[in-house]
Structure 1
Amino acid sequence: MRMNEGVEWALHSCLNLGWLGPERAVTAGRLAAFYGLPPAYLNKQLQALARAGILTSTSGPRGGFRLARDLDAITLLDVVVAIEGPDEAFRCTQILRQGPGGDPAADYLKLCVISQAMGRADLAWRRELAGQTLADIRATVERGYPDTPERTREWFATVAG
Structure 2
Amino acid sequence: MLMGEGVEWGLHCCMALAWLEDLAPISTARLAEMFELPPEYLKKRLQPLVREGILESAPGARGGYRLGRAPERITVMDVVGAVEGRTEAFRCTEIRRRGAGALAAKSEFAEPCGITTALRRAELAWRRELAGQTLADLIAGAPANAPVRARRFYEGLAG
Instruction: Please give the TM-score of this superposition, normalised by the length of structure 1.
Output: 0.90
Q: What 5-or-longer segments of structure 1 have no aligned partner? A: none
Separation (CA, whole Å) in 1 of partners of 2:28 and 2:111: 44
Separation (CA, whole Å) in 1 of partners of 2:85 and 2:136: 22
Deviation at 1:155, TM superposition (A): 1.4
Match runs of 1:43-58 below 5 Å: 43-58=43-58
| Alpha carbons of structure 1 residues 17 and 106: separation in structure 2 relative to 1, 3 Å | farther
| Alpha carbons of structure 1 residues 23 and 31: separation in structure 2 relative to 1, 3 Å | closer
Match runs of 1:26-105 below 5 Å: 26-102=26-102
* Structure 2 residue 142 is the aligned partner of structure 1 residue 121: no
Separation (CA, whole Å) in 1 of partners of 2:149 and 2:110: 50
Separation (CA, whole Å) in 1 of partners of 2:130 and 2:28: 25
Separation (CA, whole Å) in 1 of partners of 2:4 and 2:21: 27
Instruction: State the Cα deviation string for residues 17-59 of structure 1 (Å, max 9, x = none).
Output: 0000155111222212112123222211211000000000000
| Of 140, 143, 146, the match for 2:144 | 146
Separation (CA, whole Å) in 2 of partners of 1:48 and 1:61: 21
- Aligned-residue identity in percent: 51
Separation (CA, whole Å) in 2 of partners of 1:137 and 1:79: 13
Moved over 4 A (4+): 103-110
| Alpha carbons of structure 1 residues 111 and 21: separation in structure 2 relative to 1, 3 Å | same
Instruction: State the Cα deviation string for residues 105-132 of structure 1 (Å, max 9, x = none).
Output: 6796942110111000000000000000
Number of positions where the alignment pairs a residue of Structure 1 with one of Structure 2: 158
Q: What 5-or-longer segments of structure 2 have no aligned partner? A: none
What is the SS of the residue equivalent to 1:124? helix
Instruction: Please give the TM-score of this superposition, normalised by the length of structure 2.
Output: 0.91
Deviation at 1:158, TM superposition (A): 2.0
Aligned partner of 1:130 in structure 2 is: 131
Taking CA–CA contacts closer than 8 Å with sequence separation of 6 or more, which of the two structures ends up with the larger relative contact order?
A: 2
